[in-house]
Amino acid sequence: MGLHEECGVFAVYDSGGNCARTAYYGLYALQHRGQEDCGIATINELELSCHKGSGLVGDVFSESVLTELNGTMAIGHVRYAVAGSTRRENAQPLTLSYIKGSLAVAHNGSLVNSAELKREYEYRGAVFHTTTDSEIIAYIIAQARLHSGSAEAAVSQAIKHLKGAYSLVVMSSRKLIAARDPWGFRPLCIGRKGDSIFFASESCALDSVEATFVRDVEPGEVVWVDEGKLHSCRENCKGTSGLCIFEHLYFARPDSIIDGQSVYDARILAGRYLAGEHPIEGDVVIGVPDTGLVAAKGYSLATGIPYNDGFVKNRYIGRTFISPDQANREEAVKIKLNPLRATVSGKRVIMVDDSIVRGTTTTPIIRLLRDAGAKEIHVLISSPKFISPCYYGTDIPSKDALFACNYSTEEMRDVIGADSLGFLSLESLGKIAPDSNCRFCDACFTEDYPIK
């Protein structure tokens, strides 16, 4: 535990003009990807409107707001602050007006050359009002549009200047555009329902609006909707791919399919491989809610050791509730999770979680199990050890804050208070997504960065 979500983007073209409400439902399905801010921008007869704020989707949008926002196109965003502070003005979509009209941009990912690009545009006279990469991207698109014949051509030109991770949805006065970086670090897919066309970070958002999954946006591809028709430009496609492997281990909802691979099946496989690498004599297998549950089931299926619920999670607390203050972290865990004594008391417990980053939340979780009467606690992690930070939009800290960079496995076990501790091997990590049609970025485990 300890990682934070990516952001999530959603976009819809619907000539019937019910886009704001549709985007609202799509963002609801993507709420797990960001719980700090959210927003929706719409176009209605060339007029751009936007509403955004801090908090969950259900808190920021009311019936009256959605009625006022309605239009024929909409883009939406849920945000966890990776690049940029938690200031309210950093909420997306980002909107701007310029000589060619209006533009709205929502973005998932992080650029590695953002500081360089920001300096370049500041020397040209640009004034930035946020600390997000999204504003830099919007400026570059607007600048490219001055010398391009269309909005989609401007987006295609802008991609040539961007380095890093970005899945984008862009809305001009007449067109809805989506783009994915040439490595495909972040997921982005296309859906359809009748004459309506959708773009979303995950396929689960398409399911929520009863849209049919069409395909994933290819790494480097720019796709757009013009007068209800879908078009594509692949001039930036390089035949590379590097989807963040942690989409399958943690970020994505288990009912999503990303680049051909079921997230649920990937997590089941991770649990099965854990069983082969770390056979343990136990009485019950439990998972840490929510992202450790499916891998725990996989471990149980492979070993025959019964799986059961080990914790009750307070469903009224989002992932962002956990306080970054070390002094408050243990109390926060107690409020969020409560062990089921009937499951763990007197038992040899095998507890599966998705990751250990700083190691600061695992210790109080184990203490909760001890207090509930667990006889033994064996901790298994469905990912390898984190040994390096991420520069592409995942909140993985510098090496000095990474647990595995400061302790051996046995020392980590002693610190967290477990009877044993095991991690998924790199070899097994490479086999958890056999149906995927892309390669993966695993730099946080290997230090092998696709983009330096």
Alpha-carbon separation of residue 74 from 49, 192, 301 (angstroms): 9, 15, 43
Ranges for all domains in the chain classified under CATH 3.60.20.10: 8-241
103: pLDDT confidence band, cut at 50, 70 and 90? very high
326: pLDDT confidence band, cut at 50, 70 and 90? low
Radius of gyration of the chain (CA): 22
- pLDDT at residue number 327: 54
In 3D, which of 292, 329, 294, 286 has the Cα closest to residue 311? Answer: 286
Kindly report the average pLDDT of the chain as a whole number. Answer: 92
- pLDDT at residue number 82: 54
- pLDDT at residue number 86: 56
13: pLDDT confidence band, cut at 50, 70 and 90? very high
The answer to whether residue 331 scores a pLDDT higher than 80 is no
The helix (H) or strand (E) run that includes residue 429 is helix 426-429
Active site residue 444: no
- pLDDT at residue number 175: 96
- pLDDT at residue number 320: 41
Q: Using a pLDDT cut of 70, give the percent of the chain over it.
A: 94
Give residue for tokens 């991420």. Answer: 390
- pLDDT at residue number 127: 87
Q: Can you tell me the distance from the alpha carbon of 405 to that of 212, in angstroms, rounded to the nearest whole number?
A: 44
177: pLDDT confidence band, cut at 50, 70 and 90? very high
Q: Using a pLDDT cut of 90, give the percent of the chain over it.
A: 81
Give residue for tokens 């009485």. Answer: 283
**Mean pLDDT (whole number) for 247-259:** 96
**Mean pLDDT (whole number) for 19-47:** 94
Q: Confirm or reject CATH 3.60.20.10 for domain 8-241, answering yes or no.
A: yes
The answer to whether residue 1 scores a pLDDT higher than 80 is no
Q: Can you tell me the distance from the alpha carbon of 181 to that of 164, in angstroms, rounded to the nearest whole number?
A: 7
84: pLDDT confidence band, cut at 50, 70 and 90? very low
CATH topology of domain 267-446: Rossmann fold (3.40.50)
pLDDT greater at residue 286 or residue 86 = 286
**Mean pLDDT (whole number) for 307-323:** 73
83: pLDDT confidence band, cut at 50, 70 and 90? very low
- pLDDT at residue number 154: 97
How long, in residues, is the chain? 452
pLDDT digits (tens, 9 = 90+) for 115-124: 999 999 899 8
The answer to whether residue 431 scores a pLDDT higher than 70 is yes
> Which residues are within 8 A (CB) of 331 and not within 5 positions of it... i.e. 6 or more apart?
none
pLDDT digits (tens, 9 = 90+) for 128-167: 888 889 999 999 999 999 999 999 999 999 999 999 999 9
The answer to whether residue 81 scores a pLDDT higher than 90 is no
- pLDDT at residue number 397: 75
301: pLDDT confidence band, cut at 50, 70 and 90? very high
Catalytically annotated residue among 7, 19, 244, 441:
7
Residue 103 has which token pair? 């533009």
Ranges for all domains in the chain classified under CATH 3.40.50.2020: 267-446
Concatenating the DSSP letter of every residue in 361-383 gives: THHHHHHHHHHTTBSEEEEEESS
pLDDT greater at residue 361 or residue 86 = 361
Where do the DSSP E strands lie in 55-156? 73-79, 94-98, 101-108
